[in-house]
Amino acid sequence: MTVAPPPISVIGVNHRTCPDSLRERLYVDDSEVAAVIGTLRIRGVREALVLSTCDRVEVTAVFQDGPMAPLTVATALGAPVGLRGDELVPYLYRHDGGDAVRHLFRVASALDSQVVGEPQVLGQLKAAQRLSQDLGAWGPSLDHVLQAAYAVAKRVRTETRIGEGAVSLAAAAVARVQDLHGDLSERCGLLIGGDELALMVARQLRAAGLHDLTVLDRFRRRAAVTAAELEAHHGPLDDLAGALDRADVVIAGLGAGRYLITAETMEAVLRRRRRRPVFLLDMAVPADIEPAVHRLDEAYVYDTGDLERVTREGRAGREAEAARAEALVEEAVAAFDQNLAVRDAGPDIARLRNHLEAQIRDGIGDGPDADAIARRVAGRLLHAPSETMRRRAAAGRLDDETRGLIAELFGLDAARGTAGGAEGDGK
């Protein structure tokens, strides 16, 4: 018998399924999670986790009404930004049961991120769990799968070098900035948008001593959240011209679909800066910086391809590590499924043990040690049968026919009819 998958689903949008302009509107700040979970609760959802990052906005939950789950999530996410649920539903992806487990394992292991191996997503997932717990929306189904996700993420981090690729790209960017500007303690930076690799570079620049940083975004709310994390200033994208004049380092990670920084704009900026050099890093897809900016003196432009060429391992090495990480995830998914199957045998074993203890107590009569003797004898007699049932469950062979045979051999069906009271009250 195929064991039923865990009763969870993951529903949301990410960088592959939803236009950036829409996904950015759906971003859920920590202060807004309570409203989203409140809407889910109204529709019968008792366990729910809301994960909102630059890459994704998704809800992991136990849904009582499976067919209505996408509309439920769309309504919860869309309401704060004035979107009707039916407008958002076409952009949603959905993973159920085993597919949901695999998805969560890949997310926790940074295999589903725009920058594979980026280390921030695991912390974001744990922070989302804490919020869910604080709001009373945590439960055993979510806890079981999230603990398993954290375990596989740790294996991926310690048994592969997948994280080194993302970190090495960010480190290469910081090294190039220091080659140009030297000591960063008197330099100013500008972060446009919130692409994961752009954020990593910004974090490492701050750690390397970058004096001042400003975050600009199309959405003030997201700019404020990013700035709070980086201990930076923030503002709207309309402030770009003035911010460029002050910036010695520009990290572009918006992917606006048009060039935010053109050669004409940058030439004017350099004149106002009296030709003081600027390092520009374009992390966006599509690009935020016009290619013609490369030709300007004192404008030093790098993109991810340039950074890959100055790192030792390059794309091929990261892809090999990613393949190893994917294999670890598949191994963990199989182990999780097996563990669920073994747990599925638990009620059958408990029922059989209760029945046998009751039979032994009836046989030995009342006495001061009757309960202890019954438990000890039943434990010894059922040790081998219990292990066999667990093995069959793990192999998917603890089916209804096998359960029926066990019930017939031990008289469990008869016990329900004639001795149900003994089993029911656990004497």
Among residues 3, 10, 13, 54, which one is catalytic? 54
**3-class DSSP assignment, residue 283:** coil
What is each CA distance from 48 to 6, 76, 83, 396, in whole angstroms? 14, 12, 21, 29
Query: Which residues are 251's β-sheet partners?
Result: 191, 281
Query: Which residues are 252's β-sheet partners?
Result: 192, 282
Per the annotation, the verdict on 54 as an active-site residue is yes
CB of 200 closer than 8 Å to CB of 224: no
Q: Are strands 9-14 and 93-96 parallel, antiparallel or unpaired?
A: antiparallel
Long-range contacts of 154-157 (CB under 8 A, 24+ apart): 155/328, 155/332, 156/109, 156/110, 156/111, 156/325, 156/328, 156/329, 157/109, 157/119
Q: Which residues of 119-157 are buried (b: 16+ CB within 10 A; e: fewer)?
A: bbbbebbeebbebbeebebbeebbebbbebbbebbeebb
Tokens of residue 349, six digits: 């074993």
Tokens of residue 116, six digits: 């594979």
**3-class DSSP assignment, residue 177:** helix
Instruction: Tell me which residues are annotated as active site.
Output: 54
